[in-house]
Structures are given as structure tokens and as C-alpha cells.
């Protein structure tokens, strides 16, 4: 079946690669004729690829202000403020990204490139291989937004790339192609790099060093990043992905002095903020290995991070991401003597509802304000807020910082976070979510399209929950979709605001502490108005401080083996294993000890089964 699909794929290309290969069988006279036609009619195209500009993705990030997206120029009925103006580094509108992607595809498929291949016999195989790999990478990027099932049959382009990457030379070709052709304008580009590297076989350390040689690290790469921002954003993304995948001894070997110097040199805002951001993320992922963390810590990284931290609250949303990651690294990885932790500086006096740092999957980053979250992991990270609602009409808003895949909406306590399996909010019967990147609504891991345009960085998404009428309404910049009622067949109360994040995604929540941008025209309540939080519950500690507290905690002998909070008072049938509380047992589909199916969860009292 794969052969059939791949053959169909080849025939549908423009020009079809099968035609390219067949053309080589033509006699030399036809080749000469093709060359003659090319010389007569294609003077505006360079026949020699070596004459092309060194980077196809020349990016002047200071010129992006002409492509900003603006909100509607009306105030709401209640005179609410508009979203703050976006800085000149904000992600370009999707239409521009799509046009850029189409230009990329045309470039690698253009018939004049076919004639160019005919004009050179020495490097035909390499050129054709590279061109076809470029096409496959761009095809994968163009269709990734349409992949909606949790366990789909991979698209033919991904299957082919996986086959190519089975060999060392093929793996190098795929990675170099991603670095070369994935454009800066597509917000899903880094996530697609992560996905493809994750799907391909793991490289050896020798192969990675061959990659370094092919890239020319460090020969002038930082300065080249001024002209070729997309290429260097992609290089940093690849390095970070490999560091995460190969954490341990291989990661230590990967972090050569040249690579470290390259990434540190890229932490300078004379380059595109995207280059800075993904270089910082790569250093963070190298630091997952303790020996690398020491090496990076001794390299002077703090002097690079301290000036970047000030952008954590910037209204330029690309710089805001840089500031977020710099601040997170200074709080969690590269501590500065005398610098107070961020959670010691923020004022949370008026904050009564936030993201729950104790009800979150393991790799999600939450700011000390508790209102902004980001994921740079390859898994699907999720979080719920601290406040649960059972009756009435409630509303909250989310500002989109990155325009990639996030599923945001409502979830009950029974909703499951399975980050490694890719299940998040909207992927079970106890939650419902809105996906503005793929333009989908999610319930029970099934999706259907909605009529909103694709969201963009800076957009405001509103979530209204009416428990009296049993309906959910979702808005994009004040434009509401029709009511949704699916989730109420499984749950009628106990709803939390919740969200799931794909790689490199970030958003900011407003639970009512600030004025809403697009309040609905019906009476509603806000979490911040009705919730309460103890002072200690407002503190979001750095991970190392949280782990230190856990090490000193005393755990009751009869505590639940999963949450270590409540009493272990449940026995699971038919396996008869115990050791969990009822709240955790409800969330289990299989026994936590034997992985057997659970048919009954029964209470124990004084070690005896209760009827």
C-alpha cells in the first residue's frame, strides 16, 4: 500500500520526479535541445545554483512592522480597552506564511530547475535527492495543520522522509533540508522539525559531528545569522531537539566548544529574536544533562541572560517569549548570586485564581504570576486552573502569544493528562477545547471544524460557560461561535479552565484580575471575584526549590501512592490491589501496579472492604 501511495505522490508532483528520472534515458540530442531552450527563454533564472543568494530565507526582522495584524478598531459596549499593540517581531499573518510556503514549493518544483538538472550530469543524483527531500519537507509542513487524529496514518511525505533517514547519509539529507527550506514565517516550523526528528531513527554521535561539519560550525555562523535568520533559527531548533532526545553521555559529546560558543554568540538581539529564542531553548535542553549544565554555567551564560530577562513582560510578543525563557533559566537553571527569585518580586495581592502548579503535567513552565504558561517539550503538556465552578455563568480570556497548536477550554477533575501519548484537553469525555491553529473544536479526541479564522499572535480568545443552560460559547476577538453542549452528556459541574500546549507554544490567561478585552453581553462571574487562595498556594517555586521541599516532606504511612496527599482507602477489582485514594482511582483506567483492567473501585475502612 505504501508503494502505491508513494507512486501516486510522485506522479502528482510538479514536475513529477518519475518524469525527471525518465528524462535521463533520453539521448544526448534531446538533452542538448533542452539546454538550448533553457538558454533562449530562461535568462531571468540562474542556471547555476551556486550563484543563488546564500540563504533563501533572508529575513530582516526589523521590517516586520508592516505586516502586523491589528485588532478591530471598535471598543466593546462597556468601553473595554483593546489588546495592546503588537511589536514589530510579532508572527506574520497566516496568509503571508502560507504564501511563503507556496513560494518555497514553487522554487523547488519549478520546471527551470528540471532543465538545470539536465544541464549537469556530475551531480544529478545529489541534486535530485536534495530537491525531492526539500519537497517532502515542505509538503509535510503544509499538511501538518490538517493532521487531527491522535493516532493517524502518517502522511506519505513523512513515511518517505522516515525511509530516507534510515541511512546515515539520508538522515543528514533530511536534517539539512529542514534547516534549508523551513521558512521563518510559519509558526509551526520548529514544531515540525521536532516532529520529524522524533519520527526518524536516532543518529549516532559520529553522524551528528558530520552534521556539524556540513553546517560549518562555527565558521562565521553567528554573523551569517544576520542575513539568514530562518536557517539559524532552524539550526538552533535541531540542536535543541537532538540534545533532548540524546540526553546523557551522547549529549555531553554533542556539546563541543564550537557548538557552545555558537549558541552563546546567538544570544544577542542584533539577531532575529527567533534566533535568540531557539538558541536559548537549545542551551536549556543541553542543560538537562548535569555535566553540560556545569559546562554552560561556567561559560558566562548569565551575562547573556540578564539583559534578556527584562523582556518578559514586553508587548512585543516575540521578545516576550525571549524574556520568558531567559527568566525561567535564571530562576531554575543558572542562578545568579544576589539576584532574587522572580516569585519573591511579584505582587499577587489581587490575584485569587491562577494556573495550578500542582495540577500540571511535568514539563509545562508557568510564570510566577501563575497566569502565563509555555511548553518547549516535545510532549503535549496540560494544566488546569485553581478554581472549580459548579453553577452559574463564568467567563475567562486567553491572549495568544504564539500561533501554533494549543487546545484551550474547560475540563473537570476527571479529565486525564497523558502528555507522552499526545492526549490533552478535549481528548476525553470530561473536557472540551478550542484549537485556533488547526481551526477545530475537540471533544472525546474527535474534532470538527469551526468557522473562525486561524488565530494569530496577539488574538484574544474568550470562553463563556453557562451551567444553567448547559452550554459553552467561545469567541475570537469578540466574535462568538454557536453554543456547544457535547461535554454536558458526561459532566454537569466541577469545571476548571484548562489548556494543552504543543512544542514551543505560549499563552496568557486572564481570570478577571484585569479588565477583559471582549466581555460577553450577558451577566457573568469571574474566577478572580469568587475564588480564594491562601498565600502559600499563590507561590510558584522554581523546580529545584520544589524538589527540595518534597525531599523534606513527611508522608503518612497510609498515604495514596499516587498523590501522597489523601488516604489510600480504595481496593481495585478484580486484581485486589490497593494503595490509592478514590480521587486518583477514578482517573485510573488500569491498575497502577499490574496494569490490569479495573471493573470496580471499592472503599476500604480499617483494612476491610466496605459494601
pLDDT (tens digit, 9 = 90+) per residue, 169-225?
Answer: 999 999 999 999 999 988 889 999 999 999 899 999 999 999 999 998 866 666 788
Q: Give the model's pLDDT for residue 64.
A: 37
Q: pLDDT tens across 421-446, in order?
A: 778 999 999 999 999 999 999 999 99
pLDDT at 400: 99
| CATH number of the structural domain spanning residue 466 | 2.60.120.920
pLDDT tops 90 at residue 226: no
Domain that holds residue 391: 355-546
- Give me the pLDDT at residue 30, please: 38
Residues 593 and 520 in one domain: no
Residue 60 has a pLDDT of: 38
Q: How confident is the model at residue 6 (pLDDT cuts 50, 70, 90)?
A: very low
Q: 500, exposed or middle or buried, with CB in 10 Å at 0-12, 13-18, 19+?
A: buried
Out of 41-45, 235-239, 359-363, 473-477, least confident range:
41-45
Mean pLDDT for the stretch of residues 267-296: 97
**What mean pLDDT do residues 92-103 have?**
48
In a shared domain, residues 413 and 499: yes
Nearest to 380 by CA among 260, 274, 505: 505
With left for phi above 0 and alpha for psi between -120 and 50, is residue 576 left, alpha or beta? left
* Domain identity same for 359 and 403: yes
DSSP 254-268: H--HHHHHHHHHT-S
19 part of a folded domain: no
pLDDT at 87 exceeding the cut of 50: no
Does one domain contain both 383 and 439? yes
Residues 413 and 511 in one domain: yes
In this prediction, residue 148 has a pLDDT band, given cuts at 50, 70 and 90, of low
* Inside any domain, residue 315: no
d(CA 194, CA 276): 18
Q: Does 401 share its domain with 384?
A: yes
**531 and 585 belong to one structural domain:** no
- 455 vs 11, higher pLDDT: 455
The pLDDT value recorded for residue 485 is 95
Query: Contacts by 74-82 with C-beta closer than 8 Å and gap 24+?
Result: 76/478, 76/517, 76/518, 76/519, 77/521, 78/519, 80/515, 80/516, 80/517, 80/518, 80/519, 81/515, 81/517, 82/517
Residues 589 and 458 in one domain: no
pTM of the model: 0.74
Q: Which residue has the higher pLDDT, 386 or 421?
A: 386
Question: Are residues 374 and 424 both part of a single domain?
Answer: yes
Q: Note the pLDDT tens digit of each residue in 501-529.
A: 999 999 999 999 999 999 999 999 999 99
Is residue 156 very low, low, confident or very high in pLDDT (cuts 50, 70, 90)? confident
| 3-state helix vs strand vs coil in the chain, percent to 5 | 40, 15, 40
C-beta neighbour count of 425 within 10 angstroms: 30
530 with 571, same domain: the answer is: no
> Rounded to whole angstroms, how far apart are CA atoms 229 and 272?
6
Q: How does residue 126 score in pLDDT terms, banded at 50, 70 and 90?
A: low
Alpha helices in 70-167 (DSSP H): 94-109, 111-118, 124-143, 156-164
Contacts for 96-104: CB closer than 8 Å, 24+ residues apart: 96/67, 96/185, 97/183, 97/185, 97/186, 97/187, 100/183, 100/185, 100/186, 101/138, 101/141, 101/142, 101/183, 101/185, 101/186, 104/56, 104/138, 104/181, 104/183
Higher pLDDT, 221 or 306: 306
- Give residue 429's pLDDT: 94
Quote the cell numbers at residue 51.
550563484
Close Cβ partners of 264 (under 8 Å, ≥ 6 residues apart): 283, 299, 300, 301, 304
Task: Give burial (CB, 10 Å; 0-12/13-18/19+) of 159.
Answer: middle
If one compares 50 and 167, the residue with the highest pLDDT of the two is 167
Instruction: Report residue 559 CA to chain centroid gap.
Output: 36
Instruction: Name which residue leads in pLDDT, 153 or 217.
Output: 217
Question: Is 587 domain-assigned?
Answer: yes
Amino acid at each position: 500500500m505504501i508503494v502505491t501511495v508513494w507512486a501516486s505522490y510522485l506522479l502528482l508532483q510538479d514536475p513529477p520526479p518519475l518524469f525527471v528520472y525518465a528524462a535521463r534515458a533520453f539521448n544526448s540530442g534531446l538533452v542538448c535541445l533542452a539546454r538550448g531552450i533553457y538558454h533562449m527563454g530562461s535568462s531571468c533564472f540562474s542556471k547555476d545554483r551556486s550563484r543563488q543568494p546564500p540563504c533563501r530565507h533572508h529575513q530582516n526582522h526589523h521590517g516586520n512592522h508592516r505586516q502586523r495584524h491589528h485588532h478591530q478598531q471598535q471598543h466593546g459596549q462597556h468601553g473595554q480597552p483593546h489588546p495592546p499593540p503588537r511589536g514589530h517581531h510579532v508572527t506574520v499573518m497566516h496568509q503571508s506564511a502560507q504564501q511563503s510556503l507556496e513560494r518555497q514549493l514553487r522554487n523547488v518544483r519549478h520546471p527551470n530547475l528540471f532543465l538545470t538538472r539536465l544541464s549537469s550530469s556530475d551531480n544529478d543524483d545529489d541534486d535530485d535527492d536534495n530537491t525531492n527531500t526539500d519537497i517532502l519537507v515542505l509538503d509535510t509542513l503544509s499538511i501538518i495543520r490538517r493532521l487531527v487524529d491522535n493516532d493517524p496514518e502518517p502522511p506519505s511525505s513523512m513515511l518517505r522522509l522516515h525511509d530516507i533517514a534510515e541511512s546515515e547519509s539520508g538522515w543528514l539529507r533530511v536534517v539539512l533540508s529542514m534547516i534549508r527550506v523551513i521558512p521563518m514565517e510559519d509558526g509551526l516550523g520548529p514544531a515540525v522539525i521536532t516532529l520529524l526528528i522524533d519520527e526518524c531513527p536516532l543518529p549516532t554521535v559520529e553522524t551528528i559531528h558530520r552534521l556539524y561539519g556540513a553546517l560549518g560550525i562555527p565558521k562565521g555562523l553567528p554573523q551569517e545569522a544576520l542575513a539568514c535568520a530562518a536557517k539559524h533559527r532552524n539550526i538552533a531548533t535541531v540542536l535543541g531537539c537532538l540534545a533532548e532526545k540524546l540526553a546523557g553521555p551522547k549529549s555531553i559529546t554533542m556539546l563541543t566548544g564550537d557548538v557552545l560558543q555558537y549558541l552563546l554568540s546567538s544570544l544577542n538581539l542584533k539577531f532575529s529574536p527567533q534566533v535568540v529564542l531557539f538558541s536559548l531553548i537549545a542551551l536549556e535542553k543541553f542543560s538537562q544533562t548535569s555535566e553540560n549544565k556545569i559546562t554552560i554555567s561556567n561559560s558566562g551564560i548569565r551575562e547573556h541572560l540578564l539583559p534578556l530577562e527584562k523582556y518578559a513582560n514586553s508587548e512585543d510578543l516575540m521578545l516576550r517569549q525571549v524574556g520568558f525563557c531567559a527568566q525561567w533559566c535564571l530562576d531554575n537553571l543558572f542562578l545568579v548570586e544576589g539576584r532574587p527569585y522572580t516569585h519573591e518580586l511579584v505582587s499577587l495581592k489581587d490575584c485569587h485564581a491562577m494556573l495550578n502548579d500542582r495540577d500540571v503535567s511535568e514539563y509545562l513552565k508557568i510564570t510566577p504570576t501563575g497566569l502565563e504558561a509555555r511548553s518547549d517539550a516535545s510532549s503535549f503538556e496540560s494544566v488546569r486552573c485553581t478554581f472549580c465552578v459548579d453553577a452559574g455563568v463564568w467567563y475567562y480570556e486567553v491572549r495568544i502569544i504564539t500561533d501554533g497548536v494549543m487546545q484551550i477550554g474547560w475540563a473537570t477533575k476527571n479529565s486525564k493528562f497523558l502528555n507522552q501519548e499526545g492526549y490533552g484537553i478535549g481528548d476525553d469525555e470530561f473536557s472540551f477545547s478550542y484549537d485556533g491553529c488547526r481551526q477545530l473544536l475537540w471533544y472525546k479526541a474527535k474534532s470538527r471544524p469551526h468557522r473562525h479564522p486561524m488565530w494569530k499572535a496577539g488574538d484574544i480568545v474568550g470562553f463563556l460557560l453557562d451551567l444553567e443552560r448547559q452550554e459553552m460559547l467561545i469567541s475570537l476577538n469578540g466574535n462568538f461561535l454557536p453554543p456547544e453542549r457535547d461535554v454536558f452528556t458526561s459532566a454537569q459541574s466541577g469545571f476548571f479552565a484548562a489548556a494543552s500546549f504543543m512544542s514551543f507554544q505560549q499563552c496568557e490567561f486572564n481570570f478577571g484580575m484585569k479588565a477583559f478585552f471582549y466581555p460577553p453581553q450577558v451577566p457573568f462571574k469571574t474566577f478572580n471575584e469568587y475564588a480564594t487562595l491562601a498565600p502559600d498556594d499563590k507561590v510558584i517555586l522554581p523546580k529545584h526549590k520544589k524538589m527540595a521541599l518534597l525531599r523534606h516532606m513527611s508522608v503518612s504511612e497510609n498515604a495514596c501512592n499516587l498523590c501522597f496527599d489523601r488516604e489510600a482507602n480504595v481496593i481495585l477489582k478484580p486484581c485486589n490491589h490497593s494503595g490509592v485514594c478514590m480521587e486518583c482511582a477514578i482517573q485510573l483506567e488500569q491498575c497502577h501496579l499490574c496494569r490490569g483492567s479495573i471493573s470496580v473501585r471499592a472503599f476500604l475502612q480499617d483494612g476491610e472492604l466496605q459494601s
